Structures are given as structure tokens and as C-alpha cells.
């Protein structure tokens, strides 16, 4: 027999909890499932941060290369008009590259949110189904 504790609410015995809430015994499995979902979510989060970091580094390298190449081209300009044209082209290209980079990162972060929440969606669905099943079983008793 389980140990009975007395507190300000009176006597408490763990088996009374199971009698009152028959589905309480499945809470242990739910806790394990929650930990599994948390672990899977954390793994997805780490992968997403790695993907985002790699994208940012690649974009930074691309921008630096573009800047160096434009600098070389600009150094060879013969007239002010030619220099202005090179600079204008650089600004257009840099702005487009920046916007493309932001779109890429938005896609990575969007996928990250989906991937990080997906384990919890399955866990929550299972938990609701288990709770409904237990409640129906308790009602029938």
C-alpha cells in the first residue's frame, strides 16, 4: 500500500489520484513524450541556426567579393561618368543581393519555426487523443 501523507487538505494517497483520474497513469508516458518532443525541437533549432549561420557567412563572402571586384573595376575607370556608372551598377546589384539574402533568411527562419514546432504538434495531438480516450473510459465506468 502506498504511503498516505497528511497535509492542509487532509489525507492524500497516490492510489486515490489514479482512482479519481484513471488517465493519470498515462501522465508518465506523456512526460516522456514531452521530453522527446523537446529534444527533437532542440535538434531542429540547432540545425536551423547552423543553416542560417552558413547562409549569412556565404552572403557576407559574396558581398565582400562583389565589393572587391567593383573596387578593381572602379580603379580602372577613365572618366567620372564611367566611375558613376560603375558605382550605380554596384549599388543596384548590392541592393538586389541584400534583398535576395533577406528572402533566403526568411525562408530558413520560416522552415525553422515549422521544424521546431512539428514535434510538439504530434505530441499535443497524441496527448489530446489519450486524454479524450481516458475521459471516455472514466465516464463509462
Q: What are the extents of the domains in the chain?
A: 43-127
CA 78 to chain centre: 52
d(CA 23, CA 20): 9
134: nearest Cα among 21, 20, 31? 21
Residue entry with cell 495531438: 125
pLDDT digits (tens, 9 = 90+) for 33-51: 778 888 888 899 999 999 9
Phi, psi (rounded to 5 degrees) for 114: -65, -50
pTM, 2 dp: 0.63
pLDDT digits (tens, 9 = 90+) for 52-101: 999 999 999 999 999 999 999 999 999 999 999 999 999 999 999 999 99
**What pLDDT score was predicted for residue 98?**
96
CB 4 within 8 A of CB 12: yes
What are the cell numbers at 2? 502506498
**What pLDDT score was predicted for residue 108?**
95
**What pLDDT score was predicted for residue 89?**
96
**What pLDDT score was predicted for residue 46?**
92
Amino acid at each position: 500500500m502506498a504511503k498516505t501523507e497528511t497535509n492542509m487538505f487532509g489525507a492524500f494517497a497516490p492510489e486515490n489520484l489514479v482512482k479519481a483520474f484513471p488517465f493519470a497513469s498515462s501522465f508518465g508516458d506523456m512526460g516522456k513524450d514531452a521530453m522527446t518532443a523537446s529534444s527533437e525541437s532542440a535538434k531542429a533549432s540547432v540545425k536551423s541556426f547552423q543553416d542560417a549561420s552558413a547562409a549569412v557567412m556565404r552572403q557576407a563572402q559574396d558581398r565582400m567579393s562583389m565589393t572587391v571586384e567593383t573596387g578593381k573595376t572602379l580603379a580602372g575607370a577613365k572618366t567620372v561618368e564611367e566611375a558613376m556608372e560603375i558605382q550605380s551598377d554596384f549599388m543596384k546589384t548590392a541592393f538586389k543581393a541584400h534583398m535576395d539574402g533577406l528572402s533566403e533568411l526568411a525562408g530558413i527562419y520560416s522552415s525553422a519555426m515549422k521544424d521546431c514546432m512539428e514535434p510538439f504538434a504530434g505530441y499535443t495531438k497524441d496527448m489530446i487523443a489519450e486524454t479524450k480516450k481516458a475521459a471516455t473510459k472514466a465516464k463509462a465506468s
